Chains A and B, each alone.
Chain A
Amino acid sequence: MDVTLLDRQQATYPLELCASSVPLFQSYLGSGPIVELKRPEAYLSGDGFHEFVYFPVGGGPEFGDSEKLNLVPPDAAPGYCISRTSSCQMTAFHAAAMKEEREDMILEKMESTPGSGSRESFTKRKAEVVAERKSKDKRIKGELEGESEVKTKCSTQVSRNSSKENSKACEVQKPDYIHVRARRGQATDSHSLAERARREKISKKMKCLQDLVPGCNTVTGKAGMLDEIINYVQSLQRQVEFLSMKIAALNSSAEFNVENLPIKELPSYVANFPAAAKLPAMPNLTCFQLNSMQKEAVNCMLNETMHPPLTATEGIASASVSIPEQALSSSTITLQPFSTWNMDPQGLYNLYNMGFH
């Protein structure tokens, strides 16, 4: 009887319920056997298949529950995500898939609650979810193999699994940042889990780096990404060297009194520079026509970046190596766009590649 009722519920009932509908639900299932509820650490498995009951750490309303029903009330979430499985009707696989979906939703919900009151309980719960998922997936795998046997051994498995989960959840509570998920068909020993966690962390960081480095969207794969990152860092370092060279050169030629400028206000002055940068580009070019000596100095610097010498004298000596005029002209070209405030870093990056390759 209950089973058919549940079937109908599963078919029509949406996965997300609002809080007000839960008591209705509760009354709906009042007829089912009420299972003893354990406190947040444990979760209850009805028949060894993929059920768990989740309780808010702060203590919420207790739900009378049938063996086949799962309720998941997250702490501060506006709604409730309810997961239900039926041991008899659904196949293990389907149940596992549904469960994973639901758990994803749960985790998403948990993550989306901004500034949830107690971070510790939050992470603890996350760890609990993870731990439960882990052990559950283990059980799922084991159960897939002997599906028919499980049904018969329901009761014994319940006690065994709950004790296992208890211990697992207790272990996990101490370090509260394990976000590992054992997927189906994958090894679940601690080493591979840890490695998988590391790999996921690394890929997350690579994604962050991808946002930082312009022009990375085209490249796929970690090795190509790393190459792009390396190129970008190299180009940035070369830019710094080039700019310091430019400042050195301009220091020598231009005459101005730095003492007059209040140093504290200079940053804001420099920040307001875009207004001044709208002057015509011609003054830029005339200033950047370096005389021959400065050109030699630029030669030294370019040489240094390509083959870093040990001493300054060595660098000067290598200035005799003729640098093709193209490099210099491209370097002067790169000087011109510097006055634009919002210089597209990608464009500059490309220009530098032009100038230095």
Chain B
Amino acid sequence: MNNPHHLNPTSLKSRFTTRFLRALTKIRAQKPISSSSPTEIFRRYRRIKVAADKSMAYSVRSRRIWSKAMLWKLRSRSYRRQDPCSGRRSGKTNQAIMKKSSNENTTTRREDGVGFVEEADELRQLVPGGETMNLCNLLDETAHYIKCLTTQVQVMKKIADFYSF
């Protein structure tokens, strides 16, 4: 079979694709396809979106601050769903960890001396885990995050097209 596009099996794209497709099959297996009410579609959409984020975060592992933060967020959300009490507990400990890391980094956060604090704050809200980064790290993480997002969008586009035929 002619495969002109030789995919690197260890690339971010292929890692994300395999994970996401597995998640998709799981989602399809869980619920019957017959129901197409808006509620169902909405629920499925949420699940798919979470699956997409999770797959991307897992593909990056903890190599990046944003992926770590995203994984923590997803895990705490799932814990909270399963067991509210344990969620609160884990939330507290995790909050302590995040606060500690933020204290280490906040010394240089506000006093950037470069003069665009508002935009930086907005960017911090967009990038997961951005609140604990100084501007330097924030820009690095944003670049990597953009790269991963574009990969995600590409793959999902192709999957959607594939499904549409």
Residue among B27, B28, B36, B115 having the largest count of chain A Cβ atoms under 10 Å: B36
Question: Which residues of chain A from 289 to 321 have any CB-CB distance to chain B below 8 Å in the complex?
Answer: 293-294, 296-297, 300-301, 312, 315-316, 319
A284 within 8 A of B: yes
Q: Check if B18 sits within 8 Å of A267, measured CB to CB.
A: yes
Residues of A within 8 A of B104 (CB): none
Question: Which residues of chain B from 120 to 138 have any CB-CB distance to chain A below 8 Å in the complex?
Answer: 120, 122-123, 126-127, 135-136
Number of interface residues of B (CB under 8 A): 66
Q: Check if A251 sits within 8 Å of B163, measured CB to CB.
A: yes
Residues of B within 8 A of A245 (CB): 41, 45
Smallest distance from the beta carbon of B105 to chain A beta carbons, Å? Answer: 14
Question: Which residues of chain B from 151 to 165 have any CB-CB distance to chain A below 8 Å in the complex?
Answer: 152-153, 155-165
Smallest distance from the beta carbon of A266 to chain B beta carbons, Å? Answer: 6
Q: Check if A277 sits within 8 Å of B153, measured CB to CB.
A: no
Smallest distance from the beta carbon of A62 to chain B beta carbons, Å? Answer: 43
Give Cα A211–Cα B157 distance, bound, in whole angstroms.
23
Q: Check if A239 sits within 8 Å of B7, measured CB to CB.
A: no
Residues of A within 8 A of B114 (CB): 199, 202, 222
Q: Check if A226 sits within 8 Å of B42, measured CB to CB.
A: no
Q: Is the interface of B mostly helix, strand, loop or mixed?
A: helix
Query: Digit string of A64-86 for contact with B (CB within 8 Å is 1, else 0)?
Result: 00000000000000000000000
Residue among B113, B146, B162 having the largest count of chain A Cβ atoms under 10 Å: B162
Q: Per a CB cutoff under 8 Å, which of B122, B150, B156 touches A244?
A: B156
Question: Which residues of chain B from 1 to 57 have any CB-CB distance to chain A below 8 Å in the complex?
Answer: 3-5, 7, 13-14, 17-18, 21-22, 24-25, 27-28, 33, 35-49, 52-53
Q: Check if A268 sits within 8 Å of B153, measured CB to CB.
A: no
Q: Per a CB cutoff under 8 Å, which of B18, B38, B43, B120 touches A293?
A: B38
Q: Check if B33 sits within 8 Å of A249, measured CB to CB.
A: no
Residues of A within 8 A of B47 (CB): 248
Residues of B within 8 A of A247 (CB): 24, 48, 156, 159-160, 163
Q: 10 tightest A-B contacts by CB?
A: A226-B119, A297-B41, A248-B45, A243-B156, A236-B149, A248-B44, A205-B139, A271-B5, A297-B38, A244-B48
Chain A residues within 8 Å of B, Cβ to Cβ:
195, 198-199, 201-202, 205-206, 208-209, 212-213, 222-223, 226-227, 229-230, 232-234, 236-237, 239-241, 243-256, 258-259, 263-264, 266-268, 270-273, 276-277, 279, 283-284, 287-288, 293-294, 296-297, 300-301, 312, 315-316, 319, 338-339, 341, 343, 345
